[in-house]
Structure 1
């Protein structure tokens, strides 16, 4: 079946967004299409319809295809737990933590999962749009490669190469990447996409002519810089800076922050000064502090304490502020976190911040589930929907703020009502639930749109831009099948 692969000269060149745009353009034509990323390294993930875990970018691309996310869309997911180790997830399920050298040896087995998943998709859909990882020019990773050209060569598919002109050096990126490839890999690259261009395209024409003459390959599209594009980032934190006015919400940018897309609905709010606070910044004054998810909860809790966040949270609460914890952040706000088997790092235990009557034990089995239910705060209720991804088993005393439709309860609230936490990612995606949280926190802002509607609008905006920019006839010759 027709398979087209999008590779990039660098990380964050635009592979994920270009792939999503192509998926939506093919779906608009009534063609059955599925996304695929052989190997992804990311801490933003999603729960699939078949009860597994994949990179969040592939869940977005599935939405662009108008299909449910499936574990075959991303058969290998690496979730970094430290600078040298990552949890390895194969076809949706964790198989353990490996360091870089051990994973390099494991890749032969991972390759089997990759091609099993790809063949199933190719047998079920007319088109498969594949996203590479990082850059194919990483020659040190060439051996047993399953993420870029190693996959493309074995699958025998054409490749489009994307470069980000906003970074500068776009022509060097494209020609330099080609120069690092073998002759057969160079031949597999059928064209270029220049992403995030600002200004008059006429000023770029001489550079495009030079590039096409030098490489013999066409520039298929020059995609404009889409200011304010509201599309979930694959992994990197969005470049958000508070504007200094309105209700202030701060989130510490933990070293192993996970699923920071939880906060996209908050970044959309008018009259809200939302910001991630990085490692070089002191904890600022705020109206609401939210502790996010973490892939290494105990280590990130140590990081918080080292950088003064424990004292800042205590001071914030004395002055009447509110605090929320999500997943790992919920565990941190409890009394104790035990990791006897070393699920996230060295075996051991840590005292939590002590604001919620919760004790947590990390277990080998991982909870992966999409859920719906009700959130209760301050005597009021709202419907919500979200997903759980965690190894923790938490025992909470007292009332629970979340009642799930499957009969379970989740989370805890402090006796004074200033702190609550739960495992639910996507807590703010449902407008009614977000508005209830904002009321509880003392914020007058209201959610303008649901997370699902905002995602659809962003995908359509991106697809419209690519539809306009793409030279369709040249794209056909470069491997884009429209039949």
Structure 2
């Protein structure tokens, strides 16, 4: 079947969004299309129908393609636990760790499994749209590569390279990538896209022509800055380093930016509430004392991030907030931090040990080797919800007798403090549902807009697809992809 790979001149140039938009545009043309990313590095993940996990960018791309999530869409997922170590997930299941010392050989050995997933996806659809990782210009990582040119060469897949003009230097980044690649890798690139353009396209006509002339690649389009992208979840935590635009509102939700923050898109539905402002609190800054709700988010390394909370003095801010009547919500790793103690007897996150929690919930957590991965449907705060669990650890204690949620199967989840102002849950994705979001916001005196978050994301995908149809050479991209087919 046909296939096309979108690589980028760097991280956050828009590869994930371009692939999502292409998936929706192709699906709207009546093609059966599936997304694929050979190797992803992200702590934002989603639970698949076959009971595994993949990067959330591939989950969004599957949604764009109107396809069910499957582990073949992202066969290798690296989830950073520390600066030099990542949890290794293969075909949706934890397989151990990759560290700096075994990174190259570890990746190289995974190519056969990556190609297995690729071939299975090809057999199921008309076209597979593939996303690269980082940049092929990182030639220091070329040996053992399975994410960019290593995969493109193995799959004999044509590549289109995307550059981000908004960050500046797009001509140099595209032409420079061509300059550092070896001849065989460069030959895989058949076209380029200039992404995130603001202003009059005529002003960049000479630059666009120069890129084509200096690289020998075909220009596939100049994509403007698209406001609809703000409604789509972000995969990379790099976006959290940018200040969020403040909005006039009656209530403030604050979330500390943990070093190993995970699944931070849990907060996205709150960003679209007109009477709520969400602020991500960066390191070295206090949690705003005027916050009405503090959310402790998911974490890939609960104990390390709990230590970081204390280093920043955020524990003092959180306890002060609670003493003065504020509400606190902990999700997954954040829930574990709210308890009396977190224990790691098996060395799941490093050296075995234990650490005192924030003590706002009368529960303790033991980190365990088994990883819970499942989709969940149930009720919480008197409202129905759909979400998913993705955690390593079991939590128990008196406050679990007041569970945050109950599943349709009758199981309990999470805990509630005796005063009702501290909530903890292992369920991600809860706030996407209007009813539960409304029930939570009512606790801090906000009337929810009741917007359908899933519908908002779907509309944004259609808007993105329409923009790509207008600004990209879609027929040229399809023809290029079909060159790969039988």
Q: TM-score range by the shorter chain?
A: over 0.9
Pick the aligned partner of 1:467 from 443, 453, 469. Answer: 469
1:268 counterpart = 2:269: no
Change (3 A) 1:481 1:408: farther
Aligned equivalents of 1:87, 1:364: Cα separation in 2: 12
Tell me which residue corresponds to 1:417: 420
CA contact (8 A) 2:297 2:334 kept: yes
Tell me which residue corresponds to 2:346: 341
Tell me which residue corresponds to 1:442: 445
Indicate the SS of the match to 1:384: strand
Aligned length: 478
Q: CA deviation at 1:481?
A: 6.8
Aligned equivalents of 1:441, 1:215: Cα separation in 2: 56
Aligned equivalents of 1:401, 1:468: Cα separation in 2: 47
Tell me which residue corresponds to 2:60: 60
1:284 counterpart = 2:288: yes
Aligned equivalents of 1:295, 1:475: Cα separation in 2: 38
Tell me which residue corresponds to 1:427: 430
- Within 5 A, what are the aligned runs for 1:163-178? 163-178=163-178
1:458 counterpart = 2:463: no
Q: CA deviation at 1:23?
A: 0.8
Tell me which residue corresponds to 2:101: 101
Aligned equivalents of 1:251, 1:273: Cα separation in 2: 11
Gaps of 5+ in 2: none
- Within 5 A, what are the aligned runs for 1:367-386? 367-376=372-381, 381-386=382-387
Tell me which residue corresponds to 1:179: 179
CA contact (8 A) 1:326 1:422 kept: yes
Indicate the SS of the match to 1:210: helix
CA contact (8 A) 2:108 2:145 kept: no
Tell me which residue corresponds to 1:118: 118
Aligned equivalents of 1:133, 1:472: Cα separation in 2: 22
Tell me which residue corresponds to 2:358: 353
- Within 5 A, what are the aligned runs for 1:301-312? 301-312=306-317
Tell me which residue corresponds to 1:388: 389
CA contact (8 A) 2:262 2:300 kept: yes
Aligned equivalents of 1:144, 1:364: Cα separation in 2: 29
Aligned equivalents of 1:440, 1:67: Cα separation in 2: 36
Of 365-374 and 99-108, more deviation after overlay is shown by 99-108
Aligned equivalents of 1:130, 1:415: Cα separation in 2: 49
Aligned equivalents of 1:278, 1:241: Cα separation in 2: 14
Aligned equivalents of 2:269, 2:49: Cα separation in 1: 23
Aligned equivalents of 1:244, 1:101: Cα separation in 2: 49
Summarize deviations over 1:420-444 as a string: whole Å, max 9, x none.
1100100101000000000122223
Aligned equivalents of 1:458, 1:101: Cα separation in 2: 42
Aligned equivalents of 2:319, 2:87: Cα separation in 1: 33
CA contact (8 A) 2:387 2:430 kept: yes
Write out the 4+ residue segments of structure 1 that deviate beyond 4 Å after TM superposition: 480-483
Q: CA deviation at 1:447?
A: 3.2
Q: CA deviation at 1:125?
A: 1.4
Summarize deviations over 1:106-161 as a string: whole Å, max 9, x none.
12321121011001111121211100000001111111110000000010010000
CA RMSD in angstroms comes to 1.5
